């Protein structure tokens, strides 16, 4: 992924909050020159050795399903994005577009686990709807049990992951803060992560 060094983030621990906050990923595969893509919610997990694994599910009738087993895929998690008008900045600036995204590549494994897929779906629901009183999956419901065999489990062992955090890092503090406030207006939960990234950059600047 092309980008300037000050936008790049390779620390998996800093990328995981973005993946977990925006789990709907674009999963792209290519077989015999034919590109296929699906928007799939993925759960990030870590193996004992620290390797990142993404777990998801898709309709068995999805044409991409027949091409995914053992396939190499490209994954994009799109975080918040916003047009930054010159009016947002403190000083005179040009317009730009700021955003947070995570890109990954990895190899897929596909299976039809039957009713066990309900455990994956329940885990996803718990992640995106953690508050008390949220919707709960009833695994005993007849309709749910009939649908389960029609769903495939997707497991992607990640071999490369990187983030592109375009946050006006190259600008001075007041302008950078103004642009960040605008980008995160609807995503305040990401502010601690972004502030940590800024502190990391400032420390690196002091060392160079």
CA distance 148 to 125: 15
Global pTM?
0.87
Whether the CB-CB separation of 103 and 20 falls below 8 Å is answered with no
d(CA 82, CA 187): 11
Phi-psi group of 157: left, alpha or beta (phi > 0 → left; psi -120 to 50 → alpha; rest → beta): beta
Say what the pLDDT of residue 63 is: 93
In angstroms, the first-to-last Cα distance of the chain is: 25
User: For the chain, which residues make up each domain, given as ranges?
Assistant: 5-207
The pLDDT, as a whole number, for residue 208 is: 35
Residues forming beta bridges with residue 165, ordered by sequence position: 100
Q: Of 52, 56, 21, 55, give the one whose Cα is nearest residue 127.
A: 21
Written out in words, the top-level CATH class of the domain with range 5-207 is mainly beta
Mean pLDDT per 10-residue segment, the chain (208 residues) = 80 90 95 93 93 95 93 95 94 93 96 91 86 78 92 96 90 90 86 76 48
Using a 10 angstrom Cβ sphere, with 0-12 exposed, 13-18 middle and 19 or more buried, the burial of residue 154 is buried
């Amino acid at each position: 992924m092309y980008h300037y060094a000050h936008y790049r983030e390779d620390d998996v621990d800093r990328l995981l909050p973005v993946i977990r906050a925006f789990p709907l990923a674009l999963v792209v595969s290519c077989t015999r020159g034919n590109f296929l893509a699906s928007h799939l919610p993925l759960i990030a997990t870590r193996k004992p050795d620290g390797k990142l694994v993404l777990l998801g599910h898709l309709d068995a009738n999805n044409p991409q399903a027949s091409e995914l087993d053992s396939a190499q895929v490209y994954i994009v998690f799109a975080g918040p994005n916003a047009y930054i008008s010159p009016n947002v900045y403190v000083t005179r600036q040009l317009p730009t577009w700021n955003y947070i995204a995570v890109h990954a590549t990895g190899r897929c494994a596909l299976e039809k686990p039957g009713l066990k897929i309900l455990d994956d779906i329940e885990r996803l629901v718990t992640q995106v709807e953690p508050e008390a009183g949220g919707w709960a999956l009833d695994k005993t419901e007849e309709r749910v049990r009939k649908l389960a065999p029609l769903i495939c489990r997707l497991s992607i062992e990640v071999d490369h992951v990187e983030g592109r955090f375009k946050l006006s890092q190259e600008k001075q503090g007041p302008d950078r803060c103004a642009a960040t406030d605008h980008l995160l207006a609807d995503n305040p939960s990401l502010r601690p992560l972004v502030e940590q990234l800024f502190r990391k950059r400032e420390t690196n600047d002091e060392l160079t």
